[in-house]
Structure 1
Amino acid sequence: MKYNIIQQKSYEFALKSVAIYKKIITENKEYVLSKQFLRSSTSIGANIEETIGAQSDKDFLSKISIAYKEARETHYWLRLLKDSHYISENDAIEMLSLCDEILRIIGEIQITIKNRNS
C-alpha cells in the first residue's frame, strides 16, 4: 500500500483528538463543546478516506473540500476549548499546529486538483 501523508496525519490527529476528548469529559465533565470537537476532528480523516475511493476528480474534490471544512471547524473548536480553559495551553498548541498542517496539505491538494482540471 502506497504511503499517503494526509491519510496518515488525519488518522493520527483523530487518535489524539479522541485522547483529548476523553481527558475533557473525565477531568472537566464537559460534554457539549467536547463532542462537537470530537465529531469534526474525526470527520477530517473519515472524509480523507472517502477521497481515496473517489470515482472522479469532481468526486475527489468534493470530499477533500468537506475534509478542509471539517478541519476549519476543528480549528475553531480547539481555540474555543483553549480559551475557555477546557484544554491545556500545551495540548492546544500541539493540536492547533497539527490542524494547521492538515489544512495546508489539504489546501495544496485542492489547488493541485483544480489546476489539473483547468
Structure 2
Amino acid sequence: MMPERDNLIVQLTFDFALCIIQFTQQLEDKRRFVIANQLLKSGTAIGANVREAQSAESRADFTHKCKVAAKEAEETEYWLLLCHHSVGYGDTNELRAKLLSIRKVLSKIISSSRAV
C-alpha cells in the first residue's frame, strides 16, 4: 500500500526508505554488510516512526513518535557521512539532500506540535 499522497512527511520518508533500500543493496553487492545493515535499519525506521505517528493516541504521543523519527534521521545522516568519507562506498549526496529535506519538515512538525 502506498502512503497518502497528500501527507508530505509520509511521502518523503516512504520515498527515502525506497532509496535507502536500493543504496544498501549496492553496499551489500560490494560486501559492505555491516554499514549496509545499520543504514537500512535507521533509514527505513524514519518512515516507520512517521507512519506510526499518524495513528498517535494524543498530541504528546504524536510529538514523541516524530522525535524518534528525527533521531533515526540523525543516525542515518551519520551512516551516510561515513559512507561519503570512505573509499568505495558510493555517492551519498542525493540521499543526504533528501534526508535534509526530511529533517527540516520533521523539525517544523515537532516545533509546531509543541506550540499548540
Corresponding position: 1:11 with 2:26: no
Q: Is the 8 A contact 1:24 1:30 kept in 2?
A: yes
Calculate the TM-score normalised by the size of structure 1.
0.92
Letter paired with 1:24: L
Distance across 1 between alignment mates of 2:40 and 2:58: 29
Aligned to 1:101: 101
> RMSD over aligned Cα, in angstroms?
1.1
Separation (CA, whole Å) in 1 of partners of 2:79 and 2:42: 9
SS in 2 for 1:97: helix
- Provide structure 2 residue ranges, at least 5 long, that are not aligned to the other structure: none
Q: In the superposition, relative to structure 1, how do residues 86 and 11 fare at CA in structure 2: closer, same or farther (>3 Å)?
A: farther
1:29 aligns with 2:31: yes
Q: TM-score, normalised by structure 2?
A: 0.93
Task: Kindly indicate whether residue 34 of structure 2 is the aligned counterpart of residue 44 of structure 1.
Answer: no
For residues 76-105 of structure 1, what are the alpha-carbon distances to aligned partners after superposition, in whole Å with 9 as ceiling and x for unaligned?
Answer: 00000111134323xx11000000110000
- Which residue, 69, 72, 79 being the options, matches 1:70? 72
Count of residue pairs the alignment pairs up: 113
Residue in 1 that maps onto 2:114: 114
Q: Does 1:57 align with 2:71?
A: no
- Deviating above 3 A after TM superposition, structure 1's stretches of 4 or more consecutive aligned residues are none
- The residue type equivalent to 1:106 in the other structure is L
For 2:104 and 2:27, locate their aligned partners in 1 and report how far apart those are by CA, in whole Å: 27
